[in-house]
Amino acid sequence: MDLLDLNRAAIDANTALFGALTPGDLDRVTPCAGWTVRDLLRHQVDMTLKFDAGARAGEVRPRPDEDLVAAYAVASEQVTESFRAAGFLDRQAEFPGFGTRPGSSLVAAHFVDNLVHSWDLRRALGVDSTLDGELAHAAYRMALRYPDTPDVRGPGGAFAAAVDVPADAPVTDRLVALLGRTPDWQP
């Protein structure tokens, strides 16, 4: 799968999960410290809108709808279109919170963010949290390149500090641990 297809697959996984939510699910806690499912969904919408703005070199579009599930679907279509614009992967674009980077870096970060948050949501819902192997391997390889700097890892960073797991742990566990999650987290 190419980078754009990986990103779309992660979006589709989240769309399916979000579409199955019940009103009672929105207040469940998630592995993201202090976040409920509602907070996670809001974050996914808002970050997708920021990635879209960076890809378009424009302003962040307003959240499309009060219904966060519908808003995620709309924002995801917008960012997919922006990412698929001719030449986008090779040109410079604004990476939300991290300055200017190649378009391919934006797509990769959006992919990893969406995939790992699908794990967060699955854990919060108490369903099988094993990620698709191809997607998890690709995201893990990308996340290995994230710098170990204060703006990326640790307090105040985009991710918590990495959690130790055995080298032979399943790729889903290695991916989420690399991004600061405890693989056996329970609500």
Facing residues of 153 across strands? 159
Segment (H or E) for 102 = strand 99-102
The average confidence (pLDDT) of the chain is 93
Task: Please report the domains of the chain, with CATH numbers, ordered by start residue.
Answer: 3-178 (1.20.120.450)
How high is the pLDDT of residue 174?
98
Determine the average pLDDT of the residues in 100-124.
95
Full DSSP string of 131-145 = PPHHHHHHHHHHHTT
Residue 177 has pLDDT above 90, yes or no: yes
Residue-wise pLDDT tens digits, 51-100: 999 999 989 888 776 799 999 999 999 999 999 999 999 999 988 777 88
How high is the pLDDT of residue 65?
65
